[in-house]
């Protein structure tokens, strides 16, 4: 049974755990607990302080993904295709093949439904595993980020897009900031897993940006739960080191050749 089959088997039986990683050290920790590790284009804001994910390049994604791969032994490894790397089928296939060949990831993730459905079909036809992404789409979102599924026409579109993506052959769909009852409806109607981020407990799994849950990247967003304050721990450790250096307590003889 491969990783995709194992993931599908969890549908309606066991919640799927997903987190983001941008480096080997973090990935090696996550790999003990996660079903899916995603190198998200969220690295643009988390690591590079970009105002949006639209500035993230293919080269950035590949470099971080190479590092992450070194820390993964068991999790399904997915890489975001960044903005302007899948504007047409030919471009998408070329870039997806580059990502997979250079990073050894298991799959790529694309944002959108009907608008990119032919591209998704083309990738899958060419043996590129694809994860879908619906609801809030950071690569195309302009202005304030709001949850999706409040209006009837918006609800219908997201639902139809989910069905289209499933028919196209995606192995799972990320639902970002999708209204709870709509996320429930989509999850129940699909045979493939849904992974929620701000889309309720009804989804088959959940994903967060690891830096957010660790308190390294503070964002006041409703769907984020902070599980630790790593920033405080790092500050205390650096403060102690700084004090030791200034007071000539480090390095001691045992730290010296």
Q: Give the pLDDT of residue 1.
A: 84
Percent of the chain at pLDDT exceeding 70: 100
Determine the average pLDDT of the residues in 151-159: 97
* CB-count burial class (<10 Å; 0-12, 13-18, 19+) for 198: buried
Is the model's pLDDT at 145 over the cut of 80?
no
| Cα dist from 17 to 46, 83, 255, whole Å | 21, 25, 41
pLDDT of 9 strictly over 80: yes
Taking the C-alpha atoms of residue 195 and residue 81, their distance in angstroms, rounded to an integer, is 17
Tell the CATH superfamily of the 3-226 domain: Phosphoenolpyruvate-binding domains (3.20.20.60)
Q: Give residue 162's pLDDT.
A: 98
Residue with tokens 């830096």: 211
pLDDT at 144: 72
CA dihedral sign, ordered 156, 142, 111, 48: negative
- 37: enclosing H helix or E strand: strand 36-39
* Distance (Å, whole) CA 91 – CA 238: 46
Q: Give yes or no for a contact between 108 and 100, defined as CB atoms under 8 angstroms apart.
A: yes
Radius of gyration of the chain (CA): 20
Where are the chain's structural domains?
3-226, 231-257
Going by their DSSP bridges, the two strands 76-80 and 130-135 should be labelled as unpaired
Q: Cα 73 to the chain's mean position, in Å?
A: 18
Which 3 state secondary structure label does DSSP give 246?
helix
Q: What tokens appear for 48 in the block?
A: 């590079």
* Average pLDDT of the chain, as a whole number: 96
pLDDT the model gives residue 146: 85
Q: Would you say residue 143 has pLDDT above 70? A: no
The DSSP letter of residue 42 is: T
- 84-112 mean pLDDT: 98
* Residue 121: pLDDT over 80: yes
pLDDT of residue 219: 79
The pLDDT tens digits for 14-52 are 999 999 999 999 999 999 999 999 999 999 999 999 999
Query: Is residue 142's pLDDT more than 80?
Result: no
The pLDDT, as a whole number, for residue 16 is 98
Dihedral pair phi/psi, residue 28, rounded to 5°? -65, -30
Nearby residues of 186 by Cβ (< 8 Å), 6 or more positions away: 158, 159, 162, 173, 175, 178, 194
pLDDT mean over 88-97 = 98
Average of per-residue pLDDT across 5-17: 97
| pLDDT, tens only, 188-221 | 999 999 999 999 999 999 999 999 999 998 778 8
Distance separating alpha carbons of residues 55 and 202, to the nearest angstrom: 32
Tens-place pLDDT, residues 48-75: 999 999 999 999 999 999 999 999 999 9
| 14 carries an active-site annotation | no
14, 91, 166, 176: the catalytic one is: 176
């Amino acid at each position: 049974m491969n990783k995709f089959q194992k993931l599908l088997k969890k549908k309606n039986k066991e919640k799927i755990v997903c987190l983001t990683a941008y480096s080997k050290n973090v990935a090696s920790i996550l790999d003990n607990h996660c079903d899916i590790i995603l190198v998200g284009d969220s690295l643009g804001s988390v690591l590079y302080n970009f105002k949006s994910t639209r500035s993230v390049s293919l080269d950035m994604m590949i470099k971080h993904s190479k590092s992450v791969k070194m820390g993964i032994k068991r999790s399904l490894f997915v890489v975001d295709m960044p903005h302007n790397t899948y504007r047409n089928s030919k471009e998408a296939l070329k870039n997806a093949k580059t990502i997979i060949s250079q990073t050894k990831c298991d799959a790529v993730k694309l944002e959108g439904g009907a608008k990119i459905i032919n591209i998704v079909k083309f990738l899958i036809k060419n043996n590129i595993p694809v994860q879908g992404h619906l609801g809030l789409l950071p690569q195309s979102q302009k202005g304030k980020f709001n949850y999706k599924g409040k209006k009837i026409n918006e609800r219908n579109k997201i639902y139809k897009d989910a069905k289209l993506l499933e028919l196209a052959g995606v192995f799972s769909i990320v639902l970002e900031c999708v209204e709870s009852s709509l996320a429930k409806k989509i999850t129940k109607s699909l045979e493939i897993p849904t992974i929620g981020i701000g889309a309720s407990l009804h989804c088959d799994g959940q994903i967060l940006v690891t830096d957010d849950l660790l308190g390294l990247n503070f964002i006041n967003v409703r769907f984020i739960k902070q599980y630790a304050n790593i920033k405080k721990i790092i500050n205390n450790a650096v403060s102690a080191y700084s004090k030791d250096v200034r007071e000539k307590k480090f390095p001691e003889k045992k730290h010296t050749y």
